[in-house]
């Protein structure tokens, strides 16, 4: 990468993505929280869980500390560590082999900052960066994504709560399930950062389902959640020109609007599935990673997910035909409970600021 590309990437991430507060906002904030989580490459899922943390902790400042950030933010983080009121470990499957800026993280803990986990996914302990064990031996507020994450922490932390995916902070029982009863729109998604077992077979099955839907007059729309997805969607559209290509959603409200006017959604990205659940849109999750299973287990919707090795055109069609059989009442009850627990844990976290 040349110097121009490096400067452009720095400028884009530091000044164009809306992740960082202004000088005035930083100066006026009563509380500033360090946010540990993925950001920076316009991944809808990463943006969604970051926005969920900002929603949960509003009006306080949730500040990502990263290699690429505005000069005034970089100066603030170096000179004002005592201004941080706590550490938020965000959504995503974060506890694993990587641990960004361990020294800065440790300094905040040494200052007595409490730790809040916002629906974080946990990998098996044998692959962890050893630094995670030191951080997570402390009292942890909030909780993890689902029961598989709880199991992966057992032995180190046996009192951890399940709070569901971080994006469950957006759940609104008044609007969930308020969809268009006459819709003929089917939302689809393909996308993963790495190949997974049976990827070719699963995607061929989804493509066959798409062809079938188009034959019966459905309006098929491809909803990307990352630039990787866009490439896959455009390739599919070359073979099926009537597919409508949507843009990567800018925020939850934009994504929610797509799902609320759809009759069914089937796709790979975790937060494509999460948004379908939050919107009350019937769906089928193509579970290419354990994080999908963990999230679906948390809300009792495991029957709405398939491992790629089990995906066939017929099974997708069966899920479509049975789309009115999802137990939304039970799922929405769990979503309401998770949202309440996130808020209750956030209040306890705030009340413990500055205590070890």
356 pLDDT more than 50: no
Do 3-170+337-351 and 185-325 agree at the fold level?
yes
Mean pLDDT (whole number) for 211-239:
97
What are the domain boundaries of the chain? 3-170+337-351, 185-325
DSSP state letter for 14: I
User: What is the arithmetic mean of pLDDT over 15-24?
Assistant: 91
User: What's residue 56's pLDDT?
Assistant: 97
Closest by CA position to 194, among listed 93, 317, 104: 93
Highest mean pLDDT out of 63-77, 124-138, 302-316: 302-316
Separation between Cα atoms, residue 214 and residue 258, nearest integer Å = 18
> In terms of DSSP H, where are the helices of the chain?
3-11, 23-28, 44-57, 71-79, 102-110, 131-136, 147-153, 199-215, 227-239, 252-260, 270-279, 290-299, 313-321, 328-351
- The percent of residues above 70 in pLDDT, for the chain, comes to 99
3-state DSSP assignment of residue 88: strand
pLDDT at 103: 81
Q: Helix, strand, or coil here: 19?
A: coil
Query: Does an H or E element contain 135, and which?
Result: helix 131-136
- The residue ranking higher by pLDDT, 338 or 132, is 338
Q: Is residue 348 within 8 Å of 141, Cβ to Cβ?
A: yes
**Number of C-alpha atoms within 13 angstroms, CB side, residue 345?**
28
The confidence score (pLDDT) of residue 181 equals 78
3-class DSSP state for residue 305? strand
- Chain center to CA of 152: 19
The chain-wide mean pLDDT, for the chain, equals 93
Closest CA to 207 of 286, 261, 272: 286
Question: What confidence tier does 119 reach under pLDDT thresholds 50, 70, 90?
Answer: very high
Count of alpha carbons within 13 angstroms of residue 279, beta-carbon side: 26
The confidence band for 220, taking pLDDT boundaries of 50, 70 and 90, is very high
pLDDT in tens, 175-204: 877 777 789 999 999 999 999 999 999 999
pLDDT value, residue 353: 60
Q: Are 264 and 283 in contact (CB under 8 A)?
A: yes
Is pLDDT of 4 > 90?
Answer: no
CATH of 3-170+337-351, one of 3.40.50, 2.60.40, 1.20.1260, 1.10.10: 3.40.50
User: Residue 6: is its pLDDT beyond 90?
Assistant: no
CB contact at 8 A, 50 and 19: yes
- pLDDT, tens digit, for every residue of 39-56? 988 899 999 999 999 999
DSSP state of 198: T
118-138 burial code (b ≥16 CB/10 A, e <16)? bbbbbbebeebeeebeebbee
Element (H, E) at 260: helix 252-260
Tokens of 305: 């997910």
DSSP single-letter state for residue 162: B
Residues near 18 by Cβ (< 8 Å), separated by ≥ 6? none
Omega prior to 59 cis, within 30 of 0:
yes
Share of the chain above pLDDT 90, in %: 76
Summarised one tens digit per residue, pLDDT across range 272-301 is 999 999 999 999 999 999 999 999 999 999
What is the torsion angle, in degrees rounded to the nearest 10, for the CA atoms of residue 11, residue 16, residue 18 and residue 23? 60
Q: pTM for this one?
A: 0.94
Tell me which H or E stretch contains 125: none
For residues 106-115, average pLDDT: 85
User: With 0-12 CB in 10 A as exposed, 13-18 as middle and 19+ as buried, what is 237?
Assistant: middle
CA 112 to chain centre: 28
- Residue 124, pLDDT > 80, answer yes
Residue 330 in this model has a pLDDT that exceeds 50: yes
Task: State residue 354's pLDDT score.
Answer: 43
Q: What is the pLDDT of residues 240-264, one digit of tens each?
A: 999 999 999 999 999 999 999 999 9
Q: CA 191, CA 301: separation in Å to the nearest integer?
A: 21
For the segment(s) 185-325, the CATH number from 3.30.70.330, 3.30.465.10, 3.40.50.2000, 3.40.47.10 is 3.40.50.2000
């Amino acid at each position: 990468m040349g110097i121009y590309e490096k400067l452009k990437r720095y400028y884009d991430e530091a000044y164009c993505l809306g992740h960082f507060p202004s000088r005035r906002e930083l100066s006026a904030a009563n509380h500033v929280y360090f946010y540990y989580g993925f950001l920076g490459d316009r991944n809808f899922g990463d943006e969604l869980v970051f926005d969920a943390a900002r929603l949960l902790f509003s009006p306080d400042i949730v500040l990502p500390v990263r290699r690429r950030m505005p000069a005034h933010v970089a100066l603030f983080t170096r000179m004002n560590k005592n201004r941080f009121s706590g550490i938020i470990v965000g959504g995503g499957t974060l506890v694993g082999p990587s641990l960004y800026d361990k020294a800065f993280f440790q300094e905040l803990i040494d200052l007595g900052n409490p730790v809040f986990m916002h629906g974080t996914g946990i990998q098996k302990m044998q692959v962890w960066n050893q630094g995670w064990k030191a951080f997570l031996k402390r009292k942890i507020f909030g909780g993890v994504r689902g029961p598989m994450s709880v199991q992966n922490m057992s032995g180190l932390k046996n009192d951890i709560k399940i709070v569901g995916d971080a994006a469950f902070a957006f759940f609104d029982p008044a609007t969930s399930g308020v969809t268009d009863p006459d819709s003929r729109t089917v939302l689809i998604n393909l996308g993963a950062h790495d190949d997974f077992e049976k990827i070719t077979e699963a995607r061929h099955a989804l493509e066959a389902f798409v062809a079938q839907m188009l034959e019966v007059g459905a309006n098929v729309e491809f909803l990307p959640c990352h630039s990787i997805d866009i490439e896959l969607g455009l390739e599919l559209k070359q073979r099926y020109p009537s597919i409508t290509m949507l843009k990567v959603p800018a925020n939850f409200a934009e994504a929610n609007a797509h799902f609320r006017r759809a009759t069914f959604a089937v796709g790979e990205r975790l937060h494509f599935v999460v948004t379908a659940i939050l919107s009350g849109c019937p769906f089928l999750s193509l579970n290419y990673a354990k994080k999908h299973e963990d999230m679906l287990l948390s809300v009792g919707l495991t029957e709405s997910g398939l491992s790629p090795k089990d995906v066939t055109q017929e099974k997708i069609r069966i899920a479509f035909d049975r789309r009115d059989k999802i137990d939304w009442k039970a799922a929405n009850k769990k979503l309401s409970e998770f949202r309440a627990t996130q808020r209750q844990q956030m209040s306890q976290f705030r009340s413990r600021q500055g205590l070890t």
